[in-house]
């Protein structure tokens, strides 16, 4: 309190004295209180705030749209790359694989042995770019309305004894015996020498079918199925995708 009283006395003695000449100057040196904002000032500030908020929101929308565009572009690029890789793999599998063809059926033929029997012959060729490893061979000669059930061949079959076929290799004159249960007759006319033919009744058909399962060095689970039907005096391709196909 003593300090405050001393300060007041000092200011009264040595501080500026207000007179008529310097009253205005001393009065203006005292800072005035800031004016209170009016309604118009508040509305103007609100407009500026709203404008900046709209600008920032628009910028955020623009940035989000840009991010979405680049994400979609990246996703599309990844999808195209994956599809291209898949197509390349598929094309490689189609090109770099074995293709076994079963063709050239001949018969009916008769063996020149004491226990004579009838048979048909066919050939198998690998026209693919890679070797084929034969895993199983199924055959059937049947007389029915549709091709009958296949039977698994034994290890003595020549395709199973030498199961690897290199590209462009052909195995001709492969034999398939006609079962004893199928009756074989004979046909001849003025233009045809006597020849064996199957004896069929009603809507019966004579079918020969060969199914080979195999794999390649890069691919697997391949199948070639050939089916022929007796027509007139020879065997002809039975054009039915259930029995004649290549996979």
What's the pLDDT score for residue 5? 47
Q: Map out the domains of the chain as residue ranges.
A: 44-95, 100-246
- Return the biggest CA–CA distance within the chain: 161
What phi and psi values does residue 136 have, to the nearest 5 degrees? -160, 150
pTM, full prediction: 0.62
Give pLDDT tens digits along the chain (247 positions): 555 545 554 445 455 555 555 555 555 555 555 666 676 666 677 677 777 777 778 777 777 766 767 777 766 777 776 666 565 555 645 789 999 999 999 988 988 888 789 999 999 999 999 999 999 999 999 999 999 899 998 788 899 999 999 999 999 999 999 999 999 998 888 887 888 999 998 889 999 999 999 999 999 999 999 999 999 889 999 999 999 999 9
Beta strands in the chain (DSSP E): 100-110, 118-126, 132-144, 151-152, 164-165, 170-177, 184-189, 192-198, 205-215, 222-231, 234-237, 245-246
What's the pLDDT score for residue 235? 95
């Amino acid at each position: 309190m003593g300090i405050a009283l001393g300060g007041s006395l000092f200011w009264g003695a040595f501080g500026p004295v207000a007179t008529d000449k310097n009253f205005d100057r001393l009065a203006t040196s005292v800072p005035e209180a800031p004016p209170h904002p009016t309604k118009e000032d508040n509305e103007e500030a609100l407009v500026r705030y709203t404008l900046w908020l709209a600008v920032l929101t628009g910028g955020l929308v623009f940035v989000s749209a840009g991010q979405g565009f680049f994400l979609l572009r990246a996703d599309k690029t990844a999808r195209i790359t994956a599809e291209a890789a898949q197509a390349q793999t598929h094309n490689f599998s189609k090109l770099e694989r074995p293709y076994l063809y079963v063709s050239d059926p001949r018969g009916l033929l008769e063996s020149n042995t004491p226990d004579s029997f009838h048979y048909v012959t066919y050939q198998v060729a690998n026209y693919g770019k890679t070797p084929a490893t034969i895993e199983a061979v199924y055959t059937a000669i049947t007389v029915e309305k549709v091709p009958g059930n296949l039977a698994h061949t034994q290890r003595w079959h020549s395709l199973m004894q030498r199961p690897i076929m290199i590209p462009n290799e052909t195995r001709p004159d492969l034999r398939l015996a006609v079962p004893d249960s199928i009756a074989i007759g004979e046909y001849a006319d003025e233009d045809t020498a006597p020849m064996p033919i199957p004896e069929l009744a009603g809507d019966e058909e004579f079918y020969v079918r060969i199914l080979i399962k195999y794999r390649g060095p890069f691919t697997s689970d391949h199948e070639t199925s050939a089916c022929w039907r007796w027509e007139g005096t020879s065997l002809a391709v039975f054009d039915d995708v259930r029995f004649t196909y290549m996979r």
